[in-house]
């Protein structure tokens, strides 16, 4: 048995995978509390992740009806970019600032300027720093909480922190490290000169985790923790990775030609590449993957976070929300939403707010509002897809995951707006599955390959397949043109368009 863990923004999920039976035999999750404040503050207490892990682990084992001693390895996926700063005792000096925190936008802009603008960032890091990356969070902590900053002994990402708790080892791997803003994604090494611009008082050799390869073990579960959880001694903890990297593995996106799209709290698009990629767009993050390759990626800040807020404002249950937006026509009878409730990363508008355009006395209905927010989210992902350039043009399929992937109407909308066939894997919690597959790959080194594991365990659900409907594709071209004009008029984003 192999345990996959996904520590996300809203919850920690645990799955137990039986590799030989090709089955998930147990799964469970526990929610997290999000700390929200003015100026885009989004934080969590790392201790909440540990409590959620314990609860989800116990329930998953019980549901599987197994002895926990049958688990041979654990893989951990975590939300990217979060800053977990620890003191000498391994305790957080401040709550973890999350990927969706935009309070550090000014610090990010300052760092980009000091590194030589977009060209300087690309030269030093292989990508352009974005608000939400770890670098600006550390700069913010240095300026606003100097006492906490001076206590820092270790700097970890959320998945690194869970690995540290499991094993006592401070390690990281290239995929998740790519999103820190002080890691060179081409050479797969910490960029200590960039780190010195951010935190000159901190010694990178002391505070940054040791880098390991994707197939290497982070360590073994600590004996005391193994006894507490009922695990056998010597349980392997794999390198793990960011949720996007492990989600790619969990959809089988480990070779060129596939696009993974996630409709979670955020929206993400990623494509696999065998080497570093330059697309010509600063919005594309040239991340490394967690399987030894590269994973160029775009991330929008508002996906199900936006649809959930509209649904809750209207007082609708999830099923009713889905029925409402499916009943409204393409274009929501003229209502267009730019759903930038948490600012936005793609396009790069960290301080933006949301807009509802085209409201009239006749089109202001619940159904049209529901449709408008789902369309706004999906049009933003079409914008992001275009930033991937030739990688998007080569794609023959979008593998759709996340909460939004469960909606047939939303799957069809993605196919119609992008013009690319869509299908979901049977397991839509792909990051947790990907973590379990990576754990098996790590523990079974020499006896199997990650490609073989993905071929066996990533199964597509043909009932979810959505082919682009020609008439709808044409209708959405007009809606997308209006979306691009609104971006230009409201936020100064160029209306120039590029075909994927």
Strand pairing category for 355-357 and 336-338: antiparallel
State how far the Cα of 489 lies from the Cα of 35, in Å rounded to an integer.
33
Instruction: Answer yes or no: is 150 within a domain.
Output: yes
Q: Could you tell me the two tokens for 33?
A: 């509390």
State how far the Cα of 294 lies from the Cα of 271, in Å rounded to an integer.
8
Which residues are identified as catalytic? 243
What's the pLDDT score for residue 196? 97
What's the pLDDT score for residue 186? 94
Tell me how long the chain is.
500
Instruction: Answer yes or no: is 262 within a domain.
Output: no
pLDDT in tens, the chain (500 residues): 999 999 999 899 999 999 988 899 999 999 999 999 998 999 999 999 999 999 999 999 999 999 999 999 999 999 999 999 999 999 999 999 999 898 999 999 999 999 999 999 999 999 999 888 999 999 999 999 999 999 999 999 999 999 999 999 999 999 999 999 999 999 999 999 999 999 999 999 999 999 999 999 999 999 999 999 999 999 999 999 999 999 999 999 998 888 999 998 889 999 998 888 877 788 888 999 999 999 999 999 999 999 999 999 999 999 999 999 999 999 999 999 999 998 998 998 988 999 999 999 999 999 999 999 999 999 999 999 999 888 888 888 999 998 899 999 999 999 999 999 999 998 878 999 999 999 999 999 989 999 999 999 999 999 999 999 999 999 999 999 999 999 999 999 986 655 44
Instruction: Answer yes or no: is 478 within a domain.
Output: no
What's the pLDDT score for residue 389? 85
Range of the domain at 151: 2-244
Instruction: Answer yes or no: is 500 within a domain.
Output: no
Instruction: Answer yes or no: is 15 within a domain.
Output: yes
What's the pLDDT score for residue 390? 84
What's the pLDDT score for residue 393? 80
Q: 446: buried, middle or exposed (CB in 10 Å: 19+, 13-18, 0-12)?
A: exposed
Residues 6+ apart with CB under 8 A from 245: 77, 175, 176, 287, 288, 289, 290, 291, 295, 434
What's the pLDDT score for residue 500? 46
Instruction: Answer yes or no: is 482 within a domain.
Output: no
What's the pLDDT score for residue 394? 81
Task: Give tens-digit pLDDT for 282-338.
Answer: 888 899 999 999 999 999 999 999 999 999 999 999 999 999 999 999 999 999 999
Residues 6+ apart with CB under 8 A from 83: 96, 97, 134, 137, 138, 141, 155, 157
What CATH number does residue 58 fall under?
Answer: 3.30.420.40
Residue whose C-alpha is closest to residue 363's, from 336, 338, 322, 332: 332
Q: 39: buried, middle or exposed (CB in 10 Å: 19+, 13-18, 0-12)?
A: exposed
Q: Could you tell me the two tokens for 315?
A: 């007082």
Instruction: Answer yes or no: is 151 within a domain.
Output: yes
Domain count, the chain: 1
Instruction: Answer yes or no: is 149 within a domain.
Output: yes
DSSP letter for each residue of 286-351: EEE-SSSSEEEEEEES-SHHHHHHHHHHTT--HHHHHHHHHHSPTTGGG-EEE--BTBBTTTTBTT
Residue whose C-alpha is closest to residue 75's, from 219, 231, 185: 219
State how far the Cα of 368 lies from the Cα of 357, in Å rounded to an integer.
12
Percent of the chain with pLDDT over 70: 99
Q: Could you tell me the two tokens for 2?
A: 């192999």
Task: Give tens-digit pLDDT for 244-285.
Answer: 999 999 999 998 888 999 998 889 999 998 888 877 788 888
């Amino acid at each position: 048995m192999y345990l996959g863990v996904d520590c996300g923004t809203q919850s920690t999920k645990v799955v137990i995978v039986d590799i030989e039976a090709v089955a998930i035999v147990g799964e469970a999750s526990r929610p997290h509390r999000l700390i929200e404040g003015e100026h885009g503050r989004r934080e969590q207490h790392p201790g909440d992740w540990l409590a959620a892990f314990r609860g989800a682990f116990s329930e998953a084992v019980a549901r599987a009806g197994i002895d926990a001693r049958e688990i041979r390895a654990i893989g951990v996926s975590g939300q990217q970019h979060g800053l977990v700063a620890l003191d000498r005792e391994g305790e957080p000096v401040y709550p973890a600032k999350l990927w969706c925190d935009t309070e550090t936008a000014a610090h990010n802009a300052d760092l980009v300027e000091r590194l030589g603008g977009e060209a300087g960032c690309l030269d030093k890091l292989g990508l352009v720093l974005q608000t939400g990356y770890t670098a600006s969070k550390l700069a913010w902590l240095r300026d606003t909480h100097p006492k906490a900053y001076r206590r820092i002994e270790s700097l970890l990402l959320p998945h690194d922190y869970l690995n540290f708790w499991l094993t006592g080892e401070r390690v990281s791997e290239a995929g998740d490290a790519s999103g820190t803003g002080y890691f060179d994604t081409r050479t797969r090494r910490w960029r200590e000169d960039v780190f010195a611009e951010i935190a000159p008082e901190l010694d990178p050799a002391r505070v940054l985790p040791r880098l390991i390869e994707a197939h290497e073990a982070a360590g073994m579960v600590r004996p005391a923790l193994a006894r507490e959880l009922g695990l056998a001694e010597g349980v392997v903890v794999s390198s793990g990775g960011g949720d996007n990297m492990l989600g790619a593995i969990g959809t089988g996106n480990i070779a060129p030609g596939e696009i993974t799209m996630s409709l979670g709290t955020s929206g993400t698009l990623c494509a696999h590449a065998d080497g570093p990629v330059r697309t010509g767009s600063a919005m594309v993050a040239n991340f490394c993957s967690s399987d030894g390759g590269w994973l160029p990626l775009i991330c929008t800040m508002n996906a199900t976070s936006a649809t959930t807020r509209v649904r809750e404002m209207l007082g609708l249950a999830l099923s009713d929300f889905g029925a409402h937006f499916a009943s409204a026509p393409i274009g929501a009878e003229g209502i267009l939403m730019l759903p930038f409730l948490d600012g936005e990363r793609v396009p790069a508008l960290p301080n933006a707010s949301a807009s509802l355009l085209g409201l009239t006395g006749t089109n202001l209905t619940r159904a049209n509002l529901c449709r408008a927010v789902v369309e706004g989210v999906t049009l933003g992902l079409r914008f992001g897809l275009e930033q991937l350039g030739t990688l998007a043009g080569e794609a023959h399929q979008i593998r759709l995951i996340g909460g939004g992937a469960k909606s047939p109407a939303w799957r069809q909308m993605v196919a119609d707006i992008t013009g690319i066939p869509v299908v979901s894997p049977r397991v839509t919690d792909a990051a947790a599955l990907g973590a379990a597959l990576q754990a098996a790959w790590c523990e079974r080194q020499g006896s199997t390959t990650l490609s073989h594991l993905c071929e066996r365990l990533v199964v597509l659900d043909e009932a979810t397949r959505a082919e682009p409907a020609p008439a709808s594709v044409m209708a959405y071209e007009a809606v997308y043109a209006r979306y691009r004009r609104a971006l230009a008029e409201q936020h100064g984003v160029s209306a120039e368009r590029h075909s994927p």
